[in-house]
Amino acid sequence: MKIYINGRFVDKEAAVVSVFDHGLLYGDGVFEGIRSYNSLVFRLKEHIDRLYKSADAIELKIPMTKLEMIETVVKTLKENRLKDAYVRLVITRGPGDLGLDPRKCPKPTIFIIADKIALYPEKFYGVGLAIVTAVTKRNLVQALDPRIKSLNYLNNILAKIDAIKSGTQEAIMLNHDDYVAECTSDNIFMVKDNELLTPPVDIGALEGITRDAVIQIAKRTDVPFCEKLLKMEDFYTADEVFLTGTAAEIIPVVKIDERVIGNGKPGKLTLKLLKEFRELTKTDGVKYVV
């Protein structure tokens, strides 16, 4: 495996960062998770746009243009001869001192990893997930906006630990007003009376690339859709529930907090959207040749 780091490709074992890097010391940086399907990088431009938006939000200047970054992601896939892959693109504040001052970090660290990933075992796409409500609440938007895809993921990790302790794969995170925000790694949707619903991003959810794709598919196929403030009671009584994410794609949920959702099987609209989404991954992105 070859890792891109600061302008060159190195072997996995040689891909190292300084112990003084503020990405390591303080979680000071941003990242993207990106998928390629049969030599097409799905919505690469949208991922790069979000990366730069996140960097702007923490006043981190990326020393590459968006086009250069797109080209470097593609080069990393080619270097590893991967047609189907998961790409992790990371920009840290770079090496500094032991203080918090970002001005002490003159040069960001950039690295890109291209590898395989399977977030959930394949069986769950057929039978659905059982998930729980996390004890850990979502960070306040005014304190650390989850729409910034930063390296500071401790909030998500603590909620993931809640899921692990319950013996499930994923956990729903509520905001301080007990509205559903998202899950630890995924956005969340529900279906009620044939209407597709999802929480608005301004209450504590990431503006997911797959989330946006699902919303666009729904609108294109005349599925009634609405962003809406939702409580756990709404999800308990939903006809269908599913999660979306770059690694997860679209995965059905059939049980929440031991309560069966709908008829306990992946729903018709969920499966329809998954089919439409997988067709989209064949055409919507940047093509390359290995």
Active site residues: 149
At 49, list the tokens: 């746009």
Integer Cα distance of 202 and 180 in angstroms = 12
State the SS3 of the chain: CEEEECCEEEEHHHCCCCCCEHHHHHCCEEEEEEEECCCEEECHHHHHHHHHHHHHHCCCCCCCCHHHHHHHHHHHHHHCCCCCEEEEEEEECCECCCCCCHHHCCCCEEEEEEECCCCCCCHHHHHCEEEEECCCCCCCCCCCCCCCCECCCHHHHHHHHHHHHHCCCCEEEECCCCCEEEECCCEEEEEECCEEEECCHHHCCCCCHHHHHHHHHHHHCCCCEEECCCCHHHHHCCCEEEEEECCCEEEEEEEECCEECCCCCCCHHHHHHHHHHHHHCCCCEEECCC
CA distance readout (Å), 40 to 59, 71, 74, 114, 258? 31, 13, 9, 14, 39
Alpha carbons within 13 A on the beta-carbon side of 85: 24
CA distance readout (Å), 37 to 73, 119, 173, 208? 14, 16, 30, 18
